[in-house]
């Protein structure tokens, strides 16, 4: 019990030091969001996808095979 008490007292007097996430967490999050946006922006603009949502005029019936 005394060991736990000493540890608690030591931690109470210990200064808070920022860890990796405190230092760089927001930067990594923002960087990831930028990369995500850039990659998807490239894919959506360069992939040659036709964005017309109406199938009218594009869907044609196939020839019937027996």
Q: What CATH number did the domain enclosing 38 receive?
A: 4.10.51
| Separation CA 59–CA 44 (nearest Å) | 23
Which secondary-structure segment (H or E) carries 11? helix 2-13
Q: Is residue 64 part of a domain?
A: no
Q: Is residue 57 part of a domain?
A: no
Q: Is residue 20 part of a domain?
A: yes
The whole domain housing 3 covers: 1-45
pLDDT at 55 over 90: no
How many domains would you assign to the chain? 1
Residue 63's pLDDT is 82
Take residue 10 and report the two structure tokens written for it: 């030591």
Question: Kindly report the CA angle at 38 between 47 and 30, in degrees rounded to 5?
Answer: 155
| Separation CA 34–CA 42 (nearest Å) | 12
Q: Is residue 10 part of a domain?
A: yes
pTM here? 0.49
Q: Is residue 29 part of a domain?
A: yes
Q: Is residue 53 part of a domain?
A: no
pLDDT digits (tens, 9 = 90+) for 40-53: 998 888 876 666 66
Mean pLDDT (whole number) for 6-33: 82
Reported as a pLDDT band with limits 50, 70 and 90, residue 31 is very high
């Amino acid at each position: 019990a005394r060991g736990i008490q000493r540890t608690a007292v030591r931690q109470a007097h210990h200064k808070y030091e920022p860890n990796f996430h405190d230092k760089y967490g927001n930067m990594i999050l923002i960087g990831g969001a930028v990369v995500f946006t850039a990659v998807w922006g490239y894919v959506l603009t360069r992939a040659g996808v036709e964005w017309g949502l109406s199938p009218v005029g594009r869907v044609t019936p196939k020839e019937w095979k027996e």
